[in-house]
């Protein structure tokens, strides 16, 4: 743990959206409803709310009975505000292909694609699955769904057919939007065949919309598939925004679960809009002339809130690219920052650690003086990575926002606000609007310096509305300790100044390169192989990825362990779940540690793997 404290220079203190953290936090605690009412009043509503918040634990209703459309605030609000010709999206593909969409052009494309969806029979409340690469059409598709009140569920284009099928069938999506392929590291990865396999057992799918980027164009099935561009060209140009209720669902986003099936996190239109707008404006401090780059794929919550909706709500300019951080070489991202003048750079600790590994001489070749804010998201930013990021990329000048939040929270919850002192290793304090603390398993605060559980005590606007079709699972979140706080499932420690350091997950989620991977999903994929009887997966600390996955496998009787079988099992997981979930290590074992009720004790496996004391094993099976 670093003992350094970095103080921002006076210019950041003056330009910060919140000039004094303590005063702003006191303003919030004095009258939370008034605090959120002022934020929400910046946005346009078709009908006003009756109450800011109705809290009936564990359910909260935000901006009750209000009517809105998030795309009206992302688009029309700016067209009427002299941003008609401002760049909304600046996209750079491999080989330096470039595309620019102004707010006017984005508005036009969204309306036409929304009408295209309507022509396919998509109506308010219908679910639409989006399985596309990080390209402008992905943003158009998301906004088009929201435009007509349809509920989108975006699936990361690195997932395999089984994972995609689970998300299509779980959400009951009637339309799937995809592309023929995605470009990655100089190659083309087909997506359409994955969709074809995924919908074999998905009878609810009525149409598949395919963006065809390759030449010659791939063939389409006449009765099922339709060309993306043809769909846009054959419909009216105007599509008024559909008024939706504040509590109507905006999207379902699936995240790895601890019991096998992924959880469909439902976010409601009104509260999510307010939370995304507030944190993009006041935490990231996105300003009129910023070029803002969030490196997260739109298939993750970061790509939703801070890659799409947040910056468009504020009227910012989004930078997007196909380039990965180390292709064609580890200097490509820094050259993009120099060439385009990126001013806010929001990325993951995995990328930062990768850059550390290759050395500071590579970013030193680029002029990074356009940067004014650096952000980190996805997992704790360790002190060494903070120091490297601050000195080598921020040049001892840029504030670093180490942001903690979750798919379920929808927005930033804990960070160090711009203008406040920064402590490497500590994310920071709860932002104004959030009531959080480090507590014991009963829910009482622990002394400073003591490890405990991070809990959220009060609701917030962008909190998840529900776990899709699983109220019991939702209730489980708001049942921590005797006070029934929201459980984050994260371990943390708080110092004497109230700064919080996140120590990692306390449940069965592995964070690999900033992506949440469920142990149960990996284990289910392994057990589905004909050679495997049982399996268990753990995360092992890794200098580059934060964690890597190790799997322990019990083979069926008569199956002989071989190097080829290891390869086959890894390939099997890759085909089912995608490359993120593939175990880096795989070990064949005779038994697994279990409780007497049959639950695998992964912490015992992890402790043994790390050479640590496994702790209390009184519940372990003999």
Q: For residue 30, what are the CA distances in angstroms to 33, 36, 430, 459, 557? A: 9, 12, 16, 16, 65
pTM of the full structure: 0.85
- CATH number of the domain at 220, please: 3.40.50.12780
Looking at the structure, do residues 166 and 206 belong to the same domain, yes or no?
yes
HSE value, Cβ hemisphere, 13 Å, CA-based, for 287: 12
Determine, yes or no, domain membership for 491: yes
Give the single-character DSSP code of 66: -
**Euclidean distance between the first and final Cα of the chain, in Å?**
39
**542 and 501 fall within a common domain:** no
Shared domain check, 525 and 490: no
Task: For the chain, give the number of residues.
Answer: 622
SS3 at position 396: coil
Q: What is the pLDDT of residue 601?
A: 75
pLDDT of residue 37: 98
Q: How far is the C-alpha of 552 from the C-alpha of 554, rounded, in Å?
A: 7
For residues 440 and 515, membership in a common domain is answered with: no
Q: Within a domain: residue 419?
A: no
Residue 358 counted as domain residue: no
Q: Count up the domains in the chain and report the number.
A: 3
3-class secondary structure per residue, 277-346: HHHHHHCCCCCCCCEEEECCCCCCHHHHHHHHHHHHHHCCEEEEECCCCCCCCCCHHHHHHHHHCCCEEE
Residues 455 and 527 in one domain: no
- Within this chain, do residues 495 and 555 fall inside the same structural domain, yes or no? no
| Torsion, CA 489, CA 581, CA 261, CA 206, rounded to 10 | 130
Domain end position, chosen among 505, 520, 555: 505
Q: Let me know whether 148 and 209 are in one domain.
A: yes
Asked if the structure places residue 308 within a domain, the reply is: no
CA distance 299 to 262: 14
Predicted pLDDT of residue 598: 52
Evaluate whether 571 touches 488 at the Cβ level (below 8 Å).
Answer: no
Distances (CA, A) of 38 to 23, 55, 68, 103, 498: 16, 19, 17, 26, 26
Closest CA to 159 of 582, 589, 616: 582
Domain of 475: which CATH number?
2.30.38.10
Say if 443 falls within a structural domain: yes
Q: Are residues 468 and 587 in the same domain?
A: no
Of 251, 267, 283, the last residue of a domain is 267
State how far the Cα of 3 lies from the Cα of 286, in Å rounded to an integer: 30
Are residues 489 and 516 both part of a single domain?
no
Domain membership of residue 261 as a residue range: 31-267
Residues 134 and 159 in one domain: yes
Instruction: Give dist(CA 93, CA 112) in Å, integer.
Output: 24
Residue 101's beta-bridge partner residues? Answer: 89
- At 164, phi and psi to the nearest 5? -65, -45
The answer to whether 283 touches 101, Cβ cutoff 8 Å, is no
Kindly report the CATH number assigned to the domain that includes residue 586: 3.30.300.30
Provide the Cα torsion 165, 128, 93, 227; round to 10°: 100
Residues 6+ apart with CB under 8 A from 522: 535, 537, 549, 551, 573, 577, 581, 583
Q: Is residue 363 part of a domain?
A: no
All residue ranges of the chain with pLDDT < 70 are: 1-2, 13-14, 256-261, 504, 506-508, 516, 595-599, 613-622
Q: Tell whether 119 and 253 lie within a shared domain.
A: yes
Domain for residue 396, yes or no?
Answer: no
Residue showing tokens 């004014």: 372
Residues in contact with 562: Cβ distance below 8 Å, sequence separation at least 6, in sequence order: none
Q: Taking the CA atoms of 224, 228, 230 and 233 in sequence, report the sign of the dihedral they define.
A: positive
Q: Is 350 within the bounds of a domain? A: no
Pairwise CA distance, residues 379 & 183, whole Å = 26
Query: What pLDDT does 260 receive?
Result: 53
pLDDT at 1: 44
Residues 490 and 523 reside in one and the same domain: no
**Confidence at residue 521, expressed as pLDDT on a 0 to 100 scale:** 75
Domain final residue pick, 481, 505, 529: 505
């Amino acid at each position: 743990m670093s003992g350094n404290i970095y103080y921002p220079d006076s210019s950041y203190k003056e330009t910060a959206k919140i000039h004094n953290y303590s005063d702003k936090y006191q303003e919030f605690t004095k009258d939370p409803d008034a605090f959120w009412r002022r934020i929400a009043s910046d946005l346009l509503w078709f009908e006003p709310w009756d109450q800011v918040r109705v809290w009936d634990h564990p359910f909260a209703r935000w901006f009750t009975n209000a009517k809105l459309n998030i795309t009206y605030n992302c688009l029309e609000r700016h067209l009427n505000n002299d941003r008609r010709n401002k760049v909304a999206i600046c996209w750079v593909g491999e080989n330096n292909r470039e595309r620019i969409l102004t707010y006017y052009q984005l508005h036009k494309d969204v309306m036409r694609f929304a009408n295209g969806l309507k022509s396919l029979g998509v109506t308010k409340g219908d679910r639409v699955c989006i399985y596309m690469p990080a390209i402008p059409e992905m943003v158009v598709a998301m906004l088009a769904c929201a435009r007509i009140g349809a509920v989108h569920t975006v699936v990361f284009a690195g997932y395999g057919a089984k994972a995609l099928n689970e998300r299509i069938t779980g959400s009951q999506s009637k339309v799937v939007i995809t592309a023929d392929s995605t470009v990655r590291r100089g190659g083309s990865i087909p997506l359409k065949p994955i969709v074809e396999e995924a919908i074999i057992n998905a009878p609810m799918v009525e149409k598949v919309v395919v963006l065809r980027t390759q030449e010659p164009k791939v063939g389409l099935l006449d009765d099922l598939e339709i060309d993306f561009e043809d769909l846009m060209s054959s419909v009216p140009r105007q599509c008024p925004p559909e008024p939706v209720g504040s509590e109507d669902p905006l999207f379902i986003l699936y995240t790895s679960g601890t019991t096998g099936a992924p959880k469909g996190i439902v976010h409601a239109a009104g509260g999510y809009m307010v939370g995304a707008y507030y944190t993009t404006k006041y935490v990231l401090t996105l300003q009129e002339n910023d070029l803002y780059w969030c490196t997260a794929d739109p298939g993750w919550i970061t790509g939703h809130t801070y890659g799409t909706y947040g910056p468009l709500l504020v009227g910012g300019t989004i930078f997007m690219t196909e380039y990965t951080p180390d292709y064609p070489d580890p200097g490509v991202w820094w050259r993009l920052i120099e060439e385009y003048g990126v001013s806010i750079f929001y990325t993951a600790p995995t990328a930062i650690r990768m850059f550390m590994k290759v050395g500071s001489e590579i970013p030193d070749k680029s002029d990074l003086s356009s940067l004014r804010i650096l952000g980190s998201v996805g997992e704790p930013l360790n002190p060494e990575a903070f120091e490297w990021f601050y000195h080598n990329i921020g040049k001892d000048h840029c504030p670093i926002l180490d942001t903690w939040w979750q798919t379920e929270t929808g927005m930033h919850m804990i960070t160090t606000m711009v203008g406040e002192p920064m402590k490497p290793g500590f994310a920071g304090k709860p932002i104004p609007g959030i009531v959080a603390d480090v507590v014991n398993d009963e829910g009482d605060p622990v002394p400073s310096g003591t490890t405990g559980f991070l809990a959220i005590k009060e609701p917030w606007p962008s909190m998840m509305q529900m776990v899709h079709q699983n109220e019991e699972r939702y209730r489980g979140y708001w049942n921590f300790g005797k006070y029934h706080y929201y459980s984050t499932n994260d371990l943390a420690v708080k110092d004497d100044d109230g700064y919080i350091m996140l120590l990692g997950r306390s449940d069965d989620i592995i964070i690999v390169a900033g992506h949440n991977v469920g142990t149960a999903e990996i284990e289910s994929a392994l057990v589905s192989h004909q050679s495997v009887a049982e399996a268990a997966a753990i995360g092992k600390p890794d200098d580059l990825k934060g964690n890597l996955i190790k799997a322990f496998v019990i083979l069926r009787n008569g199956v002989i362990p071989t190097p080829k079988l290891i390869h086959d099992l890894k390939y099997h997981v890759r085909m089912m779940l995608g490359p993120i979930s593939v175990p880096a290590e795989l070990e064949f074992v005779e038994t697994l540690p279990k409780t007497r009720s049959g639950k695998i004790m992964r912490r015992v496996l992890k402790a043994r793997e790390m050479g640590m004391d496994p702790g209390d094993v009184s519940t372990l099976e003999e």
